[in-house]
Structure 1
Amino acid sequence: MAELPEIMVLSQQMDKELKSKEFKSIDVVQEKCLNMESEDFKRELIGKTIENVYNKGKWIFFKLSDDYHLLLNLGMGADILYYDSYEDFTDEYQCCFHFTDNSGFTCKFWWFGHVELIKNSELGDHKPTKDIAISPLDPQFTLGYFKSICKGRAGVKNLILNQKKIGGIGNVYVHDILFRAKIDPKTPVNTLNDAQIDNLFETIKENLKKSLDMKGLAYEMDFYGNNGKFSRDYFLVAYNEGEKCPDCSAVIQKIKTGSTSSYICPECQKL
């Protein structure tokens, strides 16, 4: 499942490639991917141009002409692929967007992905996105902000995954973030000392920036069909149950943390 680095790669490439392009036609194979009936969706979208593309957490936002936004969520995973001529595009998709210059892109959702056309005036009431917090790679994600949300008795993993507190991190990157910070995922947030908070703040940013620089996870594709370079070889404890900790050689464990599982070193991350 794509998380912040992969979504940022996609949105940056889309902004570079699609800015100022005008929608010519849309093919919809699976109407349930949309937030309205397909004919209404097509009628409203055709003729609009893309002003810019950016991300908010795990969502991709297309700012359109005529005071509209197109919102894209990859759900549990998707292939979002660009083509520069109509002859070259793949025929495997739920939605395909064609532009007046004969380029376009396809959306092949693996599970739960969807596309929504929203008036700008309705964005503030859009339940899935209105409360998404700033992302760790946003300039506004400062140490002061991070300290302001490090409160309460929730486990630190729950804080990091809470999209209303921190936008964009999911269950792929959180394991190694907590391992590098030497914090058990169930540690209550309000028991962290200043040094731990400072270290965790820097670790979150460093881990995500490293993946972004490597164009994201190796099993995710970018807008041009290229896989990222952040492979399993770069995972420290994540998904490495039964293997040795890279720091102390203790056996990595998989434990339950609420509704999710976590991979930890029991020696380096003592509760």
Structure 2
Amino acid sequence: MPELPEIYNLAMQMNKELQGKTIADIEIVQEKCLNVNSAEFRDLLTGKRIGETRSRGKWIFTAAGEDRTLLLNLGMGGDVLYHRPGSEPEGKYKLKFTYTDASALSINFWWFGYVHIVKNNELKSHKMTSALGISPIEPEFTFDCFKKLLSGKRCSLKTLLLDQKIIAGIGNVYAQDILFTARLHPDRKVRQLSDDEIERLFKSIIGNLHNAAAHGGLKFEKDLYGHNGSIDSFLVGYKEGQPCPVCNTTIEKIKTGSTASYICPKCQL
């Protein structure tokens, strides 16, 4: 499942390639991914000029015309691929946008995903995105902002990181090494953290996510041009039974709520 680094990179690439283009045609293979029927979707978007594309958490927001936004979420995974003028998608896709310059954008979902068209003045009531928390890769995610987010929280650190209404974009993959780098146990309660530990966690979130984005994200995820990311190894994530890279203690896999966590029982307290 793509998380913030992969989605952030896709959005930046889409912004570069698509801004200013005009939609000429839309092919819909899977209508159930839409929030309106196929005919209305085509009617609302055909002829519209593409504006800025940005990301927030695991969602991509693309301005379509003057008053609407196209929302994209890849769900459990998928591909968003750009096709230069005259080239055709080689694999399967659920949706394809063709632009007036003959370039195209194809979207495929491995399992399920969402492509919604929403009026700009109704974004605040869109159930799936209106409650999203701050995206930790944006400049607004400062240390002071982070401390305010933690204020009054009684949940565990793992729960905090995965709650999209608090911090948008972190999933179970990147949460592993974020907590390890911060030297914090996933079951620690937010209210138990010292100021030093809060600072370590903040720096770990920033460092891990920016590093992942800079390296193109995970190796099994593709960018807009079909290129895979370069991250294929973690510090402790998914390394049960292997030695901790810091102290050589055996990495353990533990149950944390509905998810599994990989930890060094000596480094993470």
Indicate if the aligned counterparts of 1:90 and 1:106 stay in contact, CA closer than 8 A: no
SS at match of 2:208: helix
- Per the TM alignment, residue 20 of structure 1 is displaced from its structure 2 partner at its CA by 0.7
Give the corresponding residue for 1:155: 156
- Aligned-partner Cα distance in 2 for 1:88–1:129: 32
- Aligned-partner Cα distance in 2 for 1:152–1:53: 32
Residues 1:251 and 2:254 aligned together: no
CA RMSD in angstroms comes to 1.0
Cα deviation 1:90-123 (Å, max 9, x = unaligned): 2510101110110011011011211001111110
Indicate if the aligned counterparts of 1:98 and 1:104 stay in contact, CA closer than 8 A: yes
Indicate if the aligned counterparts of 1:253 and 1:266 stay in contact, CA closer than 8 A: yes
- Per the TM alignment, residue 78 of structure 1 is displaced from its structure 2 partner at its CA by 0.7
- Aligned-partner Cα distance in 1 for 2:172–2:85: 37
Give the corresponding residue for 1:107: 107
Aligned-residue sequence identity (percent) comes to: 49
- Aligned-partner Cα distance in 2 for 1:248–1:166: 30
- Per the TM alignment, residue 145 of structure 1 is displaced from its structure 2 partner at its CA by 1.0
Could you tell me which amino acid in structure 1 is paired with residue 260 of structure 2?
S
**With structure 1 as the length reference, what TM-score do the two structures score?**
0.97
- Aligned-partner Cα distance in 2 for 1:205–1:84: 34
Could you tell me which amino acid in structure 1 is paired with residue 259 of structure 2?
T
Matches within 5 A, 1:53-68: 53-68=53-68
Give the corresponding residue for 2:207: 206
SS at match of 1:201: helix
Indicate if the aligned counterparts of 2:45 and 2:64 stay in contact, CA closer than 8 A: no
Indicate if the aligned counterparts of 2:79 and 2:109 stay in contact, CA closer than 8 A: yes
**With structure 2 as the length reference, what TM-score do the two structures score?**
0.97
Cα deviation 1:25-45 (Å, max 9, x = unaligned): 111111111111111111111
SS at match of 1:268: coil
Matches within 5 A, 1:72-221: 72-150=72-150, 151-221=152-222
Q: Which 5+ residue runs of structure 2 have no aligned equivalent?
A: none
Cα deviation 1:38-62 (Å, max 9, x = unaligned): 1111111101011110011110000
- Per the TM alignment, residue 164 of structure 1 is displaced from its structure 2 partner at its CA by 1.3
- Per the TM alignment, residue 88 of structure 1 is displaced from its structure 2 partner at its CA by 3.0
- Per the TM alignment, residue 66 of structure 1 is displaced from its structure 2 partner at its CA by 3.2
Could you tell me which amino acid in structure 2 is paired with residue 135 of structure 1?
S
Aligned pair count reads 268
Indicate if the aligned counterparts of 1:30 and 1:94 stay in contact, CA closer than 8 A: yes
- Per the TM alignment, residue 160 of structure 1 is displaced from its structure 2 partner at its CA by 1.1
- Per the TM alignment, residue 134 of structure 1 is displaced from its structure 2 partner at its CA by 1.4
Moved over 6 A (4+): none
Indicate if the aligned counterparts of 1:52 and 1:62 stay in contact, CA closer than 8 A: yes
